[in-house]
Each structure stands twice: as structure tokens, then as C-alpha cells.
Amino acid sequence: MVVFSEDHIQETRRRGRIEVICGSMFSGKTEELIRRLKRAKFARQRVEIFKPAMDTRYSEEEVVSHDSNSIASTPIDSSASILLFSSDKDVVGIDEAQFFDEGLIDVCNQLADNGIRVIVAGLDMDFKRIPFGPIPALLAIADEVTKVHAICVKCGNLAYATHRITKSDKRVLLGEKADYEPLCRACYMESLKEETENK
């Protein structure tokens, strides 16, 4: 029996489905999204990538990973715009999906129902570990879910949450290593305890 580690059918045959890549910050969500989208392009699929226009962290136009991998994208303000730009596409990628409105759930379903492969990447939880924006509902309706993990910067175990270093209670705060760190559950709890003690 021959076992392929990659399901190549996704890259060559037009078949509607929703794939969600989730995890903490630095877990490799964007790299995995870019990897799948670049492979789809090699397979001559018509690909479009969207990101929230407010995510200007590394670039206004491109989707960029923490390791500087990048791919051209279309920044948009509202999930409804995705439908306008996607009718002639085979594959649609969406990064930083946690920042989109709840309409994204219906948009992804409509695209997949129309035969488009939809690949969504986003944070599953905010810095307080509360499920983030439309991601929990997208996980529910997805055909396939991939949870990726960063390395806990305190102990080297697998990280599962994002700890905010910067003092701010706002839910949305763009940032990277100076503002956030990926931690395992035990180190996350320890950090919260230290913060309470130092108040």
C-alpha cells in the first residue's frame, strides 16, 4: 500500500471545502497558510489571498510570517468584500481571520458551497484565552482543522496560548515579540500569578 502524506487531490481537483489553521501566535499559522497557497499556485489553481486592512504589522499589502515568508494579498475591511473578488477563483486564503466580522462564517460557507477551497488561518484565543472573533464558529463548520503549536519561550514545551507582555486590556493590539510570547499552560498560569502578585 502506498501512503501519501499530502492529499494532492486538494491541489488539483476543484472541490469546495473549508480548512482552518489555528493556534497561538508564533505557532506557524501564516507559514502553513502560505505553504498551502503556494502549492496550489504550482498546481495552476487560481488563488486569491485576503487579510484585514487593519493588520499593517509587517506590510500593508502582503501576508508576512514572523520568519519573513510572504505572499501578495488583498487587504479588505469587511468579510463581504471576499465574495466580490472570489467568483473566478479555485482557492481562497484568509489570514488573521480573528479580526474579521462574524459574516466571515457565512462567506466561507458560500465559497465552499460554490466549489472553492477556502483556507483560513487565525488565532483561536485572545491573550485572555477567550475564543477569538469568528474562529470558534469556523472551527465548527470546517471540513478540516489543523492546530499548530509554537514553542513555550519559558520551558520549551509546546505552547498553547499567547501571553501579552505589554500592559493593555484592549482586545485588539497589533504586535509581535515585544508585546506577546507563546506559553504552555503551566507557564501561562505562572505568568498570570506573577502579574497578580506584582500589582
Ligand X SMILES: Nc1ncnc2c1ncn2[C@@H]1O[C@H](COP(=O)(O)OP(=O)(O)O)[C@@H](O)[C@H]1O
Enumerate the active-site residues.
96
30 binds ligand X per the rule CB under 6 A: yes
65 binds ligand X per the rule CB under 6 A: yes
For residue 168, the SS3 value is coil
Structural element, H or E, at residue 187: helix 185-197
184 binds Zn ion per the rule CB under 5 A: yes
Least separation in angstroms between residue 65's CB and ligand X is 3
191 marked among binding-site residues: no
Pick from 191, 115, 110: nearest CA to 153: 191
- Give dist(CA 91, CA 76) in Å, integer: 17
For residue 189, the SS3 value is helix
98 marked among binding-site residues: yes
184: partner contacted, choices ligand LXEULUCI, ligand X, Zn ion, none (Cβ within 5-8 A by kind): Zn ion
47 binds Zn ion per the rule CB under 5 A: no
Binding mask 176-195 for ligand X (x = CB under 6 A): ------x-------------
Query: Do residues 18 and 108 touch, judged by C-beta distance below 8 A?
Result: yes
Structural element, H or E, at residue 106: helix 103-113
35 binds ligand X per the rule CB under 6 A: no
Q: What is the Cα 31 distance to its own chain's centre?
A: 9
- Which of 67, 77, 144, 195 is in the footprint of ligand X by CB under 6 A? 67
Pick from 173, 170, 180: nearest CA to 150: 180
156 binds ligand X per the rule CB under 6 A: no
Instruction: Give 113 or 176: the residue with its C-beta nearer to ligand X.
Output: 176
User: Which residues of this chain interact with ligand X, rule CB under 6 A?
Assistant: 23, 25-31, 65-67, 150-151, 153, 182
